Amino acid sequence: MARLNKYGTINLKKFGSLTYDDLIKIDKLYPDGVPFTKEGYPDFSKVAFKDKSGQTLRINIGALSGDSKKDINTAEAIFQKMGYPWESGYTWHHVENSTTLIRVPSAVHQLIDHAGGMSTLVAEQTTKQAA
């Protein structure tokens, strides 16, 4: 089992690195972690951004474009039209087998190695092309 000493860091894929203290804070904020579905997808609903009623805010963008940046820009535009301000520290996550995106804390999203909705779209397109 790998261990991180008190002064070590974890390099993340996209968003810099996390220190030991960062991991302790994340553990305190999300003590139950992120569960996975029986299909193997992460269920970020407990850690995701909440709407004004306390429910996970889900943004349906209508159709995935195949371009993650376009999907994220579409979700962000809808999010802001709903009256939510942009704030740092979140990443848009493509929910598997859907056209929905949710905002997840960036550090948590990067720590959970997973496949999401963009991966399922690419797999579907590859399968169709091969047929």
Plot region of 62 (φ>0 → left; ψ -120 to 50 → alpha; else → beta): left
Per-domain boundaries in the chain: 9-130
Residue 1 has pLDDT above 50, yes or no: no
- Look at residue 101 in the predicted model and tell me its pLDDT: 96
- Look at residue 114 in the predicted model and tell me its pLDDT: 52
Distance CA 85, CA 103 (A): 12
CA 89 to chain centre: 11
56 forms beta bridges with 50
CA 81 to chain centre: 21
Specify the DSSP element, H or E, that contains 82.
Answer: none
Mean pLDDT over each residue of the chain, to the nearest integer: 79
- Look at residue 51 in the predicted model and tell me its pLDDT: 94
- What tens digit of pLDDT does each residue of 104-118 get? 998 888 777 655 556
Higher-confidence residue of 67 and 1: namely: 67
- Look at residue 9 in the predicted model and tell me its pLDDT: 57
- What tens digit of pLDDT does each residue of 12-31 get? 555 566 677 777 777 787 78
DSSP letters, 61-79, are: -SS--S-HHHHHHHHHHHH
How far CA 86 is from CA of 1, 3, 23, 126, in Å, comes to 38, 35, 24, 34
Structure tokens given for 26: 């994340």
Residue 125 has pLDDT above 60, yes or no: no
